[in-house]
Chain A
């Protein structure tokens, strides 16, 4: 089966003053896959993510989202349409601190869909149950939640508008290995049940090697993306060191 690309990045260049972060990045994200984005600190993983989301304007190059060029977002309402079709889980959760958990998940629904408050609440509860959160959490404020719960609420909020695709920025960072593994399971379960496409930035070797279908590595200001097995065996020295290091070996052995 030939899958279609939901996101296509072509010859992307990102430059801060004289410092070039990306120099000709090409990357496609295909339907229904889980793509892991890997790179050393400061190689521009978050910059790439922000460019794909349209939060940052690229120095040059093209980002096509669901077949439309994101660069022309100013002239038409393209981006607004996209925003209904993707969800984002920010690294720190980015929950609205003044709203309860339930209100956080209801916020995008009430903003975009003209339905009754009670129905929106039912949908929000559905989403929260889906990520494994019980009633106890619904009326708490973000400041009262543990790190793992914040990530789950943020994921429920990202899924509130039934997106076709979610971006996850370090979904398992700051979680203990057991919670991280549960979160990985959750991502996999949602992908299979909701037909989701997932792009995640991660340093968690376990999630990269267990749930991702493909890996995209940012090295030398470019992206090398391929099937998991191909990337793990890639001859590039940084990639070899990354996956061949002690921690990487422990993970492959476990898998």
Chain B
């Protein structure tokens, strides 16, 4: 007695030991989702069936994906020892699938097989490779910078005044507003928090000491450096990285233009000039914030607050904060330009390197700051 299974895409009927698979409707990629589940749900190879006839009488659309599903189904039946017959198919589809499968079968599978020891081995060797490459690149970079500096010292006409001026504009002048505002607000915040704690001891007046010294010694320089690392360090990595990918750097080299002299030294010089000046601006804005904090939160007259401030030996603190600025500038400039120069050749590398430049330079700025703190404690500044 014939059994019949009816779905929108096929009718499957079993007569005796032969299955009759009549395809209909659209066997195209858009219906593949239903097709896959309906065909897979059907147990074509149930016991007793020895052959399956595929017929395409009612087939409307048939594309390569549909053909592949059909072929796959037939292949599975053949693996189970059943006979498959195709009737009334357009020859080009079957021919096409055969072509493709011949190509596919002639190739050995080479999917990378990963075992845990192999993964550990891969990760550790790649870490060693990365480390040695980075060390090598940094060596190259310092040598090239050294050569660039020497050639500029020997021949000062090679110095790029205009490029340097542009970078001073970008890294310094356009950062003035944000740096001043940030230092001013930080002074207010420190004052607000400091007063709340010191008032418990009845020592509100020391809030001025706290805020002024923090701003001059640490906050002015450190926060300015962090801000510049985020603004300019990332911009350097991105600009030079894009130029590198664009082969602009190679083009310069072929023209006999030293890219280190043209791209790196002006940026480094600009940062060396700008960062101390920005730190100075941050200090001034922070002290203005301190003054405002003293007059509004502590209700001190301005003259008294200034007297208190002058009694702190402010120049000493200013010097301790200021002397770090050029070192911060070197760290930010070196990391930003280095990350731009040694970018790999792929589209997402520029983004990755820019992020790395910001993270590394902020970290290094804080590390340098910590070293200076220890040094100043030793020598009693």
Contact = CB atoms under 8 A, between A and B. Distances in A.
Contacts of A141: 346
A119 B64 contact: no
A176 interface: no
Interface stretch (B76-84, B107-115, B310-318): B107-115
Q: Which 7 A-B pairs have the closest CB atoms?
A: A143-B346, A114-B33, A97-B347, A162-B63, A162-B29, A129-B103, A129-B104
A162 B28 contact: yes
Contact of A126 (B30, B32, B100, B109): B100
A191 B73 CA distance: 26
A113 B107 contact: no
Given A125-B104, A126-B68, A162-B28, A136 B33 contact: no
Contacts of B28: 162
Interface residues of A, number: 28
A119 B109 CA distance: 17
Given A129-B103, A135-B109, A143-B346, A194 B32 contact: no
Contacts, number: 61
Contacts of B111: 135, 138-139
Interface of B: 28-30, 32-33, 36, 63-65, 68, 72, 92, 96, 100, 103-104, 107-112, 344-348
13 contacts: A84-B30, A97-B348, A98-B348, A126-B68, A129-B100, A129-B103, A129-B104, A135-B109, A135-B111, A138-B111, A139-B111, A143-B344, A162-B28
A84 B64 CA distance: 15
B104 A119 contact: no
Contacts of B110: 135-136
B32 A115 contact: yes
B65 to A, nearest CB: 6
Given A113-B33, A135-B111, A138-B111, 14 more contacts: A113-B29, A113-B32, A125-B104, A126-B64, A126-B104, A130-B64, A130-B103, A135-B107, A136-B110, A139-B112, A141-B346, A143-B345, A143-B347, A193-B92
B107 A134 contact: yes
A142 B347 CA distance: 10
A162 B345 contact: no
A205 interface: no
Contacts of A97: 346-348
